[in-house]
Structure formats: structure tokens, C-alpha cells
Amino acid sequence: MALIPDVIFFVLIFLSVYVQVFFFVTFLENRKKIVVRNGKIKLDHYPAVTIAVPCWNEEKTIYKTVRSLLSLNYPKDKVKIFLIDDGSTDGTWNIIRKFSKYPNIKVFHKENGGKYTALNLGLEHSETNFFGGLDADSFVDSESLIRIMSCFEKDSSVMAVAPSVIVSDSRNFIQSAQKAEYYMGVYTKKMLGFLGAINVTPGPLTIFRKKVFNDLGSYRHGHNTEDMEIAYRMQKNNYKIEHCNDAYVYTTTPTTVQKLYRQRLRWIYGFINNTIDYRSVLFRKKYGNFSTFTLPTGIVSILIVSYLFGRIVYNLVDFLYSKILVLNTVGWHFIAKTSSLDLFFINTRSSIFLVLFAYSLIVFAIIFGRKMAEGKWVLSLNMFYFFLIFRIIAPFWLIKAVYNTLLKRKPSWR
């Protein structure tokens, strides 16, 4: 019977439309609170901040990263920059060493132990009330830090502020696809911020009150996603995480499908395993929307993508089988004939309309995310690349991440 797959399909479509509508309703509720500041702002106080830059073989980008930190619009004596070489085997150390002459930069060299160990070294040496990391492949906008700090100033209950992470430049269509995805990420993160349900405090320039680490302990391995684990820990302890949409950090993205695959495998593996570690949080009222919306949404999206992938493979095999059948029965010369376009044959099943609706909300998310980042409404082809590439390859890293989890295999960082 084809009934059971149809019921599963129906339920999964229902859930994905539900998630998109939930985001959209959140947007409608809070749209007036979304402000994009264009000019420079001033704070009443400029608290001192430590920014730790863990680097492992980042010789290509580290110079530009440090330069961007040095040009932050924030009093120089209030920004302490820690450059931490986590046992690089390339020229990273030689580059960061030269920055030690700056009074507000401290350089460290340690044996390779993983990103979280480098961040913890930074934490140990930090003497400021605010602490944040910056991935060595990312570059900060000069106004980013001051805008982030304004969120802390406005609301003393805010314990961490995440910026908008944007693709720094896209040279090929793999990167263009990610560009659209990151814009969507800006929108999603903002909405999760309104819901108090952010599940990742991204490596590029999330700033924390030092109290978070004093109370909850330092960074953990977190299945190679320490920026997710700390966010889960904060949510479990009801520490508020906010998103500052107009604080921009530009990050470099994987240039090839293989590199993208490895990065996403690590992320999804991190999501699955951190969620397993924090499963006691799931569907518990006291942990807020994080437990009833963010985590279930993540789980549902893994199910949907895996299921759709199965369906696509089934359809593809079915299609190939029918073509082979034609080939075997009537030979080559009859295949070339294509039937003319007739509107009658356009499928009008109800699921088609629902999928179209869900997609249009995703398109809205991408466009509005970009509006929050660039201040203008832009329709770009990147979206098309995004749908194309992620639709095709995302199932592979999702399924591999589930597979790795089942077999307890840990994916490598790069």
C-alpha cells in the first residue's frame, strides 16, 4: 500500500509549513523591533572586551582578520585581542607573532588541542567582563562590536549577543549558494532571538558576559561544535542570548562541494549529538521555545530532508527504469520525440501548493535576511543556486551525520 509513505509525507509537509508559518508570525509580531542602524552610534560606557582568535593553519586569512579587529570603532584600550596559535603547521605563527608589538594584542602559542582548548586558554588569561571569540577566517565590520555592546547596555539580562554572519565574497556558485543561505540564517537567527531560542552562538564574534563562563564553566569539545554546545548550556540554564542583526561579520566559506560537505557534516553531527546530550531539555516548558521549537525544528528538518531524499531516489530509479524499458522495447529512435506542453499535465495535487507556499516563505526569509544585512530589497540568482545545491547535497551530509552518530564515528574538522 502506498498509504503509509503518503501519510508520512503529509505529516512532514504539515510540520515544515508549520515551522515556516511560525517564523513568519514571529516576524509579523516583531517587525517593528527590527532596526538597521546605518551610521555610527555612541554608548554611555565602553566596557572592556577580550576577543580571542583561535587559529589553526589560517595563514591565508589571519592577517586580514586581525586587521579588521584593529579597525573596530571601539576605544582601542578597551579591546584586548588574543591571537592564539593552536599548533599550526603553516606560517600562521610567523604572521601573528608580528602583531605582538600592538599594546592591545597578546599572542599565544600552544600545542594543537582543538579550537575549544584555544578559546579556554583565552578565557584563562582574560581579565575583562566581556569575552568573545572570532574565527580566524572571518572579518569584522568596524561597527560590529559597538552595536553588539549596545545590546548589553540596553538590557542587563542579556548574557550573550550573536552577530549577523554574512559570506565575505563569493567566487563560485557553491559560495553564492551559501551566500543566500547565510542571509536566510540572519533572518532565522533574528526570529529565534525574538523567541529566546537561539541554539548556536557562532564562532565569528559572539560576545558573552564573562559571568556565563564563571557560572557554567569553560568551553567544551561539544562534538567539534563548541559554539553550539555553549549555547545549549546557556539555554539549559535560562541565560538569555540575543541577536544583533546589524552587527556584521564576514566569513569565508568553503569553495568546493567536498569542503562544504565536511563542514556541514561537522555541524549536523554536532547538532545531533549535542541534542542527544541535552535531550533532557526537549519539550520541557521551563526551557522555553528552545525546547519546544528550535530543537524539534532541527530534528524535523533532518527527517524531512532524509525522507525527501528517499523519495527523490525512488522517483529517479523509477524514471530510469521506465526509460530503460522504453529503450529495450522500442529502441533509440522513438525516444527523441517529446510531448508538447499541455497545461493539463501540470500536477495540481494539494502537496504541490503547500510545498510552493513553504518555499515562498523561505524565499521571503532570504530576501528579508539580506534586507537586514544590506538595507535593501534584492532578488538574486544566489537563491536559485541555494535551492539547487542544498536540495541535492544536503541529504548526503545529513544521512552521513546520522550514520556517524549511530556508529559513533567522529567527523574531522576539515
Partner 1 sequence: MNNNIDWKKYLIVFLITVGLFFTASYLSNYFGNKKIDQLKSIQDKIAINILSSETQFALLSESSCKNVSGSVLSGELDELGRKLEWGQENLGATDEVSYLKKYYSLLQIKDYLLMKRISASCKVKSAFILYFYTTAENCSECEKESLVLSSLRDKYPELRVYSFDYSIDLSAVKALLQIYKIKDTELPALILDDELLTSFHGIEELESRVQESFKLQETKPEANNKKNS
List contacts with partner 1 (CB under 8 A): 14, 17-18, 21-22, 25-26, 29, 157, 195-196, 238, 240, 285-290, 292, 325-326, 328-331, 334, 337, 344-345, 347-354, 357
First to last CA, the chain: 44
Task: Please report how close the Cβ of residue 352 comes to partner 1 at its closest, in angstroms.
Answer: 8
Task: Please report how close the Cβ of residue 279 comes to partner 1 at its closest, in angstroms.
Answer: 18
Task: Please report how close the Cβ of residue 399 comes to partner 1 at its closest, in angstroms.
Answer: 27
Task: Please report how close the Cβ of residue 2 comes to partner 1 at its closest, in angstroms.
Answer: 11
Q: Is 95 in contact with 63 (CB distance < 8 Å)?
A: yes
Q: Is 391 in contact with 298 (CB distance < 8 Å)?
A: no
Give the E-state strand segments of 134-239 in sequence order. Answer: 138-140, 158-167, 207-209
Indicate the residue among 312 and 326 with the shorter CB distance to partner 1: 326
Q: Is 105 in contact with 83 (CB distance < 8 Å)?
A: yes
Indicate the residue among 257 and 325 with the shorter CB distance to partner 1: 325
Indicate the residue among 4 and 406 with the shorter CB distance to partner 1: 4
Task: Please report how close the Cβ of residue 240 comes to partner 1 at its closest, in angstroms.
Answer: 6
Task: Please report how close the Cβ of residue 355 comes to partner 1 at its closest, in angstroms.
Answer: 9
Indicate the residue among 345 and 377 with the shorter CB distance to partner 1: 345
Residue whose C-alpha cell is 584586548? 80
Indicate the residue among 38 and 157 with the shorter CB distance to partner 1: 157
Task: Please report how close the Cβ of residue 201 comes to partner 1 at its closest, in angstroms.
Answer: 15
In the structure grid, which three cell numbers stand for residue 142, read together?
568596524
Alpha-carbon span 11 to 92, nearest angstrom:
50
Alpha-carbon span 199 to 272, nearest angstrom:
12
Indicate the residue among 38 and 348 with the shorter CB distance to partner 1: 348
Indicate the residue among 168 and 235 with the shorter CB distance to partner 1: 235
The four Cα atoms 404, 405, 407, 410 give a dihedral, to 10 degrees, of: 60
What phi and psi, each to the nearest 5 degrees, are found at residue 109? -130, 130
Alpha-carbon span 80 to 78, nearest angstrom:
6
- Angle made by CA atoms 142, 143, 146, in degrees to the nearest 5: 125
| Residue type at 115 in one-letter notation | K
